[in-house]
A and B are shown apart, each in its own frame.
Chain A
Amino acid sequence: MLPPILKDKVDDILRGIMASLNAGLSVVDKDLNIIWTNENLRRMLHSKHSVVGKKCYEVYGCACKDASHCSSVSGLSNGERNVSDIQFISEKGGRKYIKNISIPVKDEKGAVGYFLKLSLDVTEKEEKISQLSLLRKFADMMQGTLHIDRLLHLILTCVTAGTALGFNRARLFLVDKKRNVVYGKMAVGPSSYEEAVKVWSEIISKYESLEDLISASKDKYQEDTPLHATTRLMVYSLADESEPIVSCVKHKNIIWGKNAFHDPTMSRNFVSMIGADEFVCVPLIAREEAIGVICVDNHYSKKPVTEDQVQMLVTVASRAALAIENAEAYKSLEEKIKQLEDAQERLIRSERLAVIGNMAAYIAHEIRNPLVTIGGFARSISRISNQDPHAKQSAEIIVEEVNRLEKILANITDFGKPLKPVKGVFQVNDLLENTCSLMGPYFKSSNIQLIQKFNESAPPVTMDSTQMKQVFVNLMKNAVESMLDGGTLILETTSDDKYVKINVTDTGKGIPAETIQRVFEPFFTTKVDGTGIGLAVSKKIVDEHGGTILVKSSGYSGTTFSVYLPIKTE
């Protein structure tokens, strides 16, 4: 036994040890009554009053309700330690993790009558572990997201979600190499303090885990927020390194602006757009190249950014950058596939036309043979039936009709045959004049007024004049046929350094939008007696000359065909 003076001394020392231990201590008896605690435990449990006298399970929130189920009590008989973990939500709303170690206490005779409970606050460690596992989940999700906008939203959600990195606001910038700029693409975060409070309380009450939050926010990216709108206005030339975002991209380093409002070296424009005194910009680096920047701040909570958070942000950014690169590669692959499909469709279409063309040519030849016989004999009959005017007239009608059919067939067979232009150098204006004088009587009988607006300084063009004349005849004939009650035909030539342009404009009925794309297709016609060959042949001729033919029509009145002929051809 210690003398009383020493006993008091030892008591003092023990009390000092207990107070300075950064752990909660309690003594619990066999019936699970707490008979003593230190001050730390009360603080740790956020309890306003002393917990002495209460049942152990009430205080620690264990599942057991009596001594027979308590694992610590079993330690009383075998003398072994027992470890258990508990977690609860504190009055402040934060999650707390406590590790409890129950140690049986033996008396001088070696019997165990009560146990000492040691409680350690492991919240920080647990949070770190759960944060890391969340970030891993995030990385997995990012890799699995190929839709670029959804991916960017996921990244920003990760950066701002309270359970993950928990920044107040996050903006994402992307590099556009073609335009040589870095531009604001997307932003997530509240736009005002009131909204921030509302959103946070909603998130805490609604979503248990980060996964819940993400699946709820999937496809729900709000583009109409003021934060998004201001971010979209932020575009910086990659040459302007005074801008933090540009510098972040160029040097691939973290820019941590502290006290930005009063930092004279900080770009004023940027600070006023960001509107936060402290911010962090982290580059998104994929394959050693900065493809963008994530910029975060704690504008509303004013919580200082910690080194730890920045490190975590760097980790997220590196995974995010790779995921963005993947998604962009996927997007360009998708575009390529689309182009391929388009090309295939065009090929099928042109093959279909080729088949129609071949079939038409075959039928044309097959019809031509009997026509020779019909027409030939009709001529012979008309020649010898001078005594019978009726027979003569009938035979002449047959001859006329056969002539018409033969002409149509010649057109069709001409279409299939490759055109080999015999080229010379000609003035387009001369050719047009020539064509107009040929068609003069036709214009007159159709009540057409002709207006010529020729650019006299247009340079000469290398072309097959016969074929090109055919093009002009076709275009003018079409124009006249569209003006049933007469009208005005305008021929106009202009030129630049590459092309001579010929416009053939009419004041006719126009071409409806649904058919205008098809006018150059062979055998497409809206005319009762048309073969659908004229414009197709015209297009083929212009193409063979390395030129272009285009059509424009308001759909109800007037049409303009434009022929572009290259000034220099080999």
Chain B
Amino acid sequence: MQKKILVVEDDKNQILLYQHELTLEGYTVIAAKDGSEAVKMVKERFPDIIVMDINMPRMNGIEAMGKILGEQRKIPIIINTAYSNYKDNFMSWSADAYIIKSSDLTELKSKIKELLAKNE
């Protein structure tokens, strides 16, 4: 059974990149373009892991993460952001991993693999 990854990202080209790369790794990739859409999709599509951007319109990633974690505590969440200073926000500590965005997706891929294996 293919694992389902929810990518929450407002940059549509980046979504295309993640979809392309993560599909190649053998995952099913679904995408939400902001926090509120992500909250809705967690309820409807039951992803196995979430890759969450922070800076997004309407609802940011930190707020969305709070709402998702308020309803269930099982899905691992990886924060994937260009900003390093959100590490100081204690809300981000409840994420399972914090990754600074890079064009090199090696770190992201290995984190996904590691967290999914832990959750087996």
Which A residues fall within an 8 A CB radius of B?
A: 365, 368-380, 399, 402-403, 406, 410, 413-414, 416-417
Could you tell me if B101 and A417 are in contact, using CB atoms closer than 8 angstroms? Answer: no
Could you tell me if B83 and A373 are in contact, using CB atoms closer than 8 angstroms? Answer: no
CB neighbours (8 Å) of A379 from chain B are 103-105
B91 close to A (CB within 8 Å): no
Pairs A–B under 8 Å by Cβ, sample size 14: A365-B83, A368-B101, A369-B14, A373-B11, A373-B13, A373-B16, A374-B103, A377-B17, A379-B105, A406-B103, A413-B83, A413-B84, A414-B84, A416-B85
Report the minimal beta-carbon distance from A384 to chain B, rounded to whole angstroms.
9
How many angstroms between the C-alpha atoms of A257 and B60 in the bound complex? 90
How many angstroms between the C-alpha atoms of A365 and B55 in the bound complex? 10
What's the count of A-B pairs with C-beta under 8 Å? 57
Could you tell me if A371 and B14 are in contact, using CB atoms closer than 8 angstroms? Answer: no
- Closest residue of chain B to A384, judged by CB? B24
CB neighbours (8 Å) of B82 from chain A are 365, 368-369, 372
Could you tell me if B103 and A375 are in contact, using CB atoms closer than 8 angstroms? Answer: yes
CB neighbours (8 Å) of A413 from chain B are 83-84
B20 close to A (CB within 8 Å): yes
CB neighbours (8 Å) of B102 from chain A are 372, 375, 406
How many angstroms between the C-alpha atoms of A375 and B105 in the bound complex? 10
B21 close to A (CB within 8 Å): yes
How many angstroms between the C-alpha atoms of A370 and B101 in the bound complex? 11
Interface size class, chain B: 10 to 19
Q: 13 additional contacts, CB 8 Å, given A368-B101, A376-B103?
A: A369-B14, A369-B101, A370-B13, A371-B103, A373-B11, A373-B13, A373-B16, A375-B103, A376-B17, A376-B105, A377-B20, A380-B21, A399-B103
Could you tell me if A372 and B84 are in contact, using CB atoms closer than 8 angstroms? Answer: no
Identify which of residues 82-117 in chain B touch chain A, using a CB-to-CB cut-off of 8 Å: 82-85, 100-105
How many angstroms between the C-alpha atoms of A410 and B102 in the bound complex? 10
Residue among A369, A374, A376 with the most chain B CB within 10 A? A376
How many angstroms between the C-alpha atoms of A380 and B14 in the bound complex? 13
How many angstroms between the C-alpha atoms of A564 and B15 in the bound complex? 49
CB neighbours (8 Å) of B105 from chain A are 376, 379
Residue among B21, B24, B82 with the most chain A CB within 10 A? B82
Report the minimal beta-carbon distance from A145 to chain B, rounded to whole angstroms.
58
How many angstroms between the C-alpha atoms of A402 and B17 in the bound complex? 15
How many angstroms between the C-alpha atoms of A370 and B82 in the bound complex? 11
Could you tell me if B103 and A372 are in contact, using CB atoms closer than 8 angstroms? Answer: yes
CB neighbours (8 Å) of A377 from chain B are 17, 20
Could you tell me if B84 and A402 are in contact, using CB atoms closer than 8 angstroms? Answer: no
- Closest residue of chain B to A373, judged by CB? B13
CB neighbours (8 Å) of A414 from chain B are 84
CB neighbours (8 Å) of B100 from chain A are 410
How many angstroms between the C-alpha atoms of A64 and B52 in the bound complex? 113
1/0 contact trace for B15-36 toward A, CB 8 Å? 0110011001000000000000
CB neighbours (8 Å) of A378 from chain B are 103
Could you tell me if B14 and A372 are in contact, using CB atoms closer than 8 angstroms? Answer: yes
CB neighbours (8 Å) of A399 from chain B are 103
Could you tell me if B17 and A417 are in contact, using CB atoms closer than 8 angstroms? Answer: no
- Closest residue of chain A to B83, judged by CB? A365
CB neighbours (8 Å) of A368 from chain B are 82, 101
Report the minimal beta-carbon distance from B16 to chain A, rounded to whole angstroms.
8
Given contacts A369-B11, A369-B14, A413-B84, contact A375 B104 (CB under 8 A): yes
- Closest residue of chain A to B13, judged by CB? A373
CB neighbours (8 Å) of A371 from chain B are 103
- Closest residue of chain B to A420, judged by CB? B88
CB neighbours (8 Å) of B13 from chain A are 370, 373
- Closest residue of chain B to A410, judged by CB? B100
10 tightest A-B contacts by CB? Answer: A375-B103, A368-B82, A376-B17, A373-B13, A365-B82, A376-B103, A372-B103, A372-B101, A373-B14, A402-B103
How many angstroms between the C-alpha atoms of A413 and B100 in the bound complex? 11
Report the minimal beta-carbon distance from A236 to chain B, rounded to whole angstroms.
63
- Closest residue of chain A to B12, judged by CB? A373
CB neighbours (8 Å) of B14 from chain A are 369, 372-373, 376
CB neighbours (8 Å) of A403 from chain B are 103-104
- Closest residue of chain B to A409, judged by CB? B82
Selected contact of B85 from candidates A372, A380, A417, CB within 8 Å: A417
Report the minimal beta-carbon distance from B100 to chain A, rounded to whole angstroms.
8
How many angstroms between the C-alpha atoms of A444 and B85 in the bound complex? 38
CB neighbours (8 Å) of A410 from chain B are 100
How many angstroms between the C-alpha atoms of A51 and B14 in the bound complex? 123
How many angstroms between the C-alpha atoms of A368 and B100 in the bound complex? 10
Report the minimal beta-carbon distance from B101 to chain A, rounded to whole angstroms.
5
- Closest residue of chain A to B81, judged by CB? A365
How many angstroms between the C-alpha atoms of A123 and B103 in the bound complex? 104
How many angstroms between the C-alpha atoms of A162 and B83 in the bound complex? 82
How many angstroms between the C-alpha atoms of A365 and B17 in the bound complex? 18
Identify which of residues 56-92 in chain B touch chain A, using a CB-to-CB cut-off of 8 Å: 82-85
CB neighbours (8 Å) of A369 from chain B are 11, 14, 82, 101
Selected contact of A380 from candidates B11, B20, B84, CB within 8 Å: B20
CB neighbours (8 Å) of A370 from chain B are 11, 13
- Closest residue of chain A to B17, judged by CB? A376
Residue among B11, B21, B55, B102 with the most chain A CB within 10 A? B102
- Closest residue of chain A to B80, judged by CB? A372
Report the minimal beta-carbon distance from A314 to chain B, rounded to whole angstroms.
71
Report the minimal beta-carbon distance from A511 to chain B, rounded to whole angstroms.
32
- Closest residue of chain A to B85, judged by CB? A417
Report the minimal beta-carbon distance from A370 to chain B, rounded to whole angstroms.
7
Report the minimal beta-carbon distance from B31 to chain A, rounded to whole angstroms.
14
How many angstroms between the C-alpha atoms of A399 and B104 in the bound complex? 9
How many angstroms between the C-alpha atoms of A402 and B104 in the bound complex? 10
CB neighbours (8 Å) of B11 from chain A are 369-370, 373
How many angstroms between the C-alpha atoms of A337 and B104 in the bound complex? 55
How many angstroms between the C-alpha atoms of A308 and B107 in the bound complex? 98
CB neighbours (8 Å) of B85 from chain A are 416-417
- Closest residue of chain B to A383, judged by CB? B24
- Closest residue of chain B to A367, judged by CB? B82
Report the minimal beta-carbon distance from A55 to chain B, rounded to whole angstroms.
107
Report the minimal beta-carbon distance from A404 to chain B, rounded to whole angstroms.
11
Report the minimal beta-carbon distance from B62 to chain A, rounded to whole angstroms.
16
How many angstroms between the C-alpha atoms of A217 and B32 in the bound complex? 87
